[in-house]
Amino acid sequence: MSPFGFTLTATDGAARVGRITTVHGPITTPAFMPVGTAGTVKAMLPASVRDTGAEIILGNTYHLMLRPGAEQVAAFGGLHQFMNWPGPILTDSGGYQVMSLAGLRKIDEDGVTFRSHLDGSRHALSPERSIAIQHHLDATITMVLDECTPFPASHEEAGESMRRSMRWAARSKAAFAERPGYGLFGIVQGGVYPDLRRESVTRLAEIGFDGYAVGGLAVGEGQAVMLETLDATVPAMPADRPRYLMGVGKPADLVAAVARGIDMFDCVLPTRSGRNGQAFTRRGALNLRNSQHKTDAAPLDADCACPACRDHSRAYLHHLIKAKEILGAMLMTWHNLQYYQDLMRDLRAATAAGRLEKYIDDFQRDQGLDGDGHRSDTAPN
């Protein structure tokens, strides 16, 4: 059985193309992971997710521990067999979801106690319990339990939160059962403070992980601050391990982060937006609820090969969405996931060919963005 590993195959500036080897198959990076929070990517069959080009998906410890229960999933051979996804699965430790339960949770050095948002039942999530749950799920990539520092937070608050996460990271590493082809990732915290971010990287590298994630961003700080934080963080991260930016984001965020050396992403945006009638295209985002699409015979994106674009008009998709037909959510979700995978493919190709700068210029022009990534007055329709 092959060990878990990461190999760089090309670079262009800080951008990287690589390959992660796992027990459940390889992952080509930069990679976008569709979010399958509760054991399903909403509105998609597993085979359909694979057809978009996705090689890895994300599951969530918090939701799966509550329903159907990690032990139940384990009884069916793990999450891969339970949901019929044979490829790699990364599981979020549950820390972000628990931290968002304002008024329903209490944090201390041991971990977090909280009440379920489903039925109010009490639960405890420690670093050791989070790792055990992810083991039951048979996660290909396990994430350490961390405290997602709220925004805004003072330097003192962010530092205290980060250092607790580092202590939890060490406990997570001690609890992790190392097996060939499986990996454990640490999570860099520290708010928007460069010195805290670098301290977090140093502490995690001393513990030693198979990959390193940047957590605690895309929580309200805005793109400019997020990118400034990445500029201060990513160069300090180990170059021989995958770098994962958690919970990000819009297409322009992904492009900017790849240019800064990020290898992996996840976000609910493409699936959630699809269910709500928004499509991401090579010419910018479209709201298919708008009446202007009622009689439009054009496809969503003429360069996209997904079923929504290949077989249907904007007018038909507009009708499905206005009529609240399930097929509308299915087609729009498929399209958005296809667009995100196509974006990753194009970023890999541009990086490997040494033409990433030109690709980014063309991307911003086609999306109607200015040099700072903001929507311009001459944005295309």
Per-residue pLDDT reduced to its tens digit, 308-367: 999 999 999 999 999 999 999 999 999 999 999 999 999 999 999 999 999 999 999 999
pLDDT higher than 90, residue 103: no
Model pLDDT for residues 41-96, shown as the tens digit of each residue: 999 999 999 999 999 999 999 999 999 999 999 999 999 999 999 999 999 998 88
Query: Predicted confidence band at 374 (pLDDT cuts at 50, 70, 90)?
Result: low
CATH of the domain at 223: 3.20.20.105
Looking at residue 1, its pLDDT comes to: 65
Model pLDDT for residues 120-170, shown as the tens digit of each residue: 899 999 999 999 999 999 999 999 999 988 899 999 999 999 999 999 999
Selected catalytic residue, list 12, 92, 210, 263: 92
Q: Is 12 part of a structural domain of the chain?
A: yes
pLDDT higher than 80, residue 17: yes
3-state helix, strand, coil in the chain (%, to 5): 40, 20, 40
User: Are 160 and 210 found together in one domain?
Assistant: yes
Return the higher-pLDDT residue of 117 and 59: 59
User: Are 238 and 330 found together in one domain?
Assistant: no
Selected catalytic residue, list 210, 253, 266, 342: 266
Q: Is 380 part of a structural domain of the chain?
A: no
Q: Is 374 part of a structural domain of the chain?
A: no
Q: Is 313 part of a structural domain of the chain?
A: yes
Q: Is 376 part of a structural domain of the chain?
A: no
User: Are 288 and 336 found together in one domain?
Assistant: yes
Looking at residue 72, its pLDDT comes to: 97
Model pLDDT for residues 288-315, shown as the tens digit of each residue: 999 999 999 999 999 999 999 999 999 9
The pair of structure tokens assigned to 301 is 């994106």
The pair of structure tokens assigned to 312 is 């249907």
Model pLDDT for residues 190-232, shown as the tens digit of each residue: 999 999 999 999 999 999 999 999 999 999 999 999 999 999 9
pLDDT higher than 50, residue 379: no
User: Are 18 and 147 found together in one domain?
Assistant: yes
Looking at residue 381, its pLDDT comes to: 37
Q: Is 379 part of a structural domain of the chain?
A: no
Domain final residue pick, 211, 239, 267 = 267
User: Are 224 and 291 found together in one domain?
Assistant: no
Looking at residue 99, its pLDDT comes to: 73
The pair of structure tokens assigned to 68 is 């159907």
User: Are 221 and 310 found together in one domain?
Assistant: no
- Contact predicate 297/314, CB 8 Å: yes
- Contact predicate 157/200, CB 8 Å: no
Q: Is 381 part of a structural domain of the chain?
A: no
Looking at residue 80, its pLDDT comes to: 98
Query: Predicted confidence band at 188 (pLDDT cuts at 50, 70, 90)?
Result: very high
Looking at residue 371, its pLDDT comes to: 66
User: Are 137 and 36 found together in one domain?
Assistant: yes
Query: Predicted confidence band at 380 (pLDDT cuts at 50, 70, 90)?
Result: very low
User: Are 166 and 307 found together in one domain?
Assistant: no
CA distance 88 to 80: 8
User: Are 230 and 285 found together in one domain?
Assistant: no
Domain final residue pick, 206, 241, 267 = 267
User: Are 220 and 306 found together in one domain?
Assistant: no
Looking at residue 370, its pLDDT comes to: 77
Tell me if residue 266 is catalytic. Answer: yes
User: Are 221 and 278 found together in one domain?
Assistant: no
Task: Measure CA 227 to chain center.
Answer: 16
Domain final residue pick, 267, 290, 305 = 267
Q: Which of the 8 DSSP states describes residue 292?
A: G
- Tokens 């405890």 found at: 124
CB burial of residue 23 (10 Å; 0-12, 13-18, 19+): middle
User: Are 288 and 189 found together in one domain?
Assistant: no
Q: Is 49 part of a structural domain of the chain?
A: yes
The domain tally of the chain equals: 2
- Tokens 């992904």 found at: 254
Query: Taking residues 22-32, what's their average pLDDT?
Result: 98
* Residue-number span of the structural domain to which 110 is assigned: 5-267
Looking at residue 95, its pLDDT comes to: 80
Tell me if residue 92 is catalytic. Answer: yes
CA distance 189 to 187: 6
